Every structure is written in C-alpha cells, then in structure tokens.
C-alpha cells in the first residue's frame, strides 16, 4: 500500500504526515472537523488559549464519536460446535 505525504494544519500549526493513500481523505476530513470545532468553541466561549481549545475539542469529538458508535453484536456460530459434537458422538458409538 502506497503512502502519501500530507501537510495538515490544525489550530494554525502545520503537521507533516505520511499516511496510507486510502486514509488521506479521512485524515484531511478529520483535520477540517477539528478546526471547525475549535472555531466554534472560540466563538461561543471566552477562551483564546489554543491548548485549552484543543483539549476541549478533543473531549467534545471523542464524546461524540463514542455516542455515535454502535455496539458490535457477534452472532455465535453453532454449526461448528454441532459438527464437533456429532463427530464426538460417532467416535463414542464406534468405541462401544
């Protein structure tokens, strides 16, 4: 998988990154969402310290991501267990 070099700007600082090509758009979108959240917080609260804004943004975005995440339900596959039990039954009946 090839990597691409990106220059991401978050809160006025530039960060050079090398990411897999398939993830480049997602990384750019994430940076845009972070910057949008920072701007929104800056406009709505009397906070101008970049470190505070980044911390508040991280908390806000992670809380949102966890709320949006759907629990993964793993359906058990009983076919393998039933096949193993049947093989065991046959082995036991052959012994008798």
Give 59's strand partners: none
Token match 């998988």: residue? 1
Q: Return per-residue pLDDT of the chain as tens, 96 residues.
A: 799 999 999 999 999 999 999 999 999 999 999 999 999 999 999 888 999 999 999 999 999 888 888 777 778 888 888 899 999 998 888 876
User: 21 and 1 in contact (C-beta within 8 Å)?
Assistant: yes
* pLDDT recorded at residue 94: 86
**Domain layout of the chain by residue ranges:** 3-95
* pLDDT recorded at residue 20: 95
* pLDDT recorded at residue 96: 64
Rg (CA), the chain: 26
* pLDDT recorded at residue 93: 87
Q: What is the pTM of this model?
A: 0.66
Tokens of 92: 């036991």
Q: CA torsion angle for 62, 64, 67, 69 (degrees, to 10)? A: -70
* pLDDT recorded at residue 11: 93
Query: Which stretches of the chain are DSSP H helices?
Result: 24-44, 50-68, 78-95
């Amino acid at each position: 998988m090839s990597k691409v070099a990106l220059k991401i700007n978050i809160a006025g600082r530039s960060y050079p990154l090398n990411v897999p090509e398939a993830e480049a758009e997602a990384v750019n979108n994430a940076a845009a969402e972070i910057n949008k959240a920072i701007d929104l917080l800056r406009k709505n609260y009397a906070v101008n310290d970049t470190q505070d804004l980044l911390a508040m943004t991280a908390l806000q975005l992670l809380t949102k991501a966890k709320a949006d995440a759907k629990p993964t339900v793993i359906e058990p596959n009983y076919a393998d267990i039933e096949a193993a039990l049947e093989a065991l039954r046959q082995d036991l009946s052959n012994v008798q």
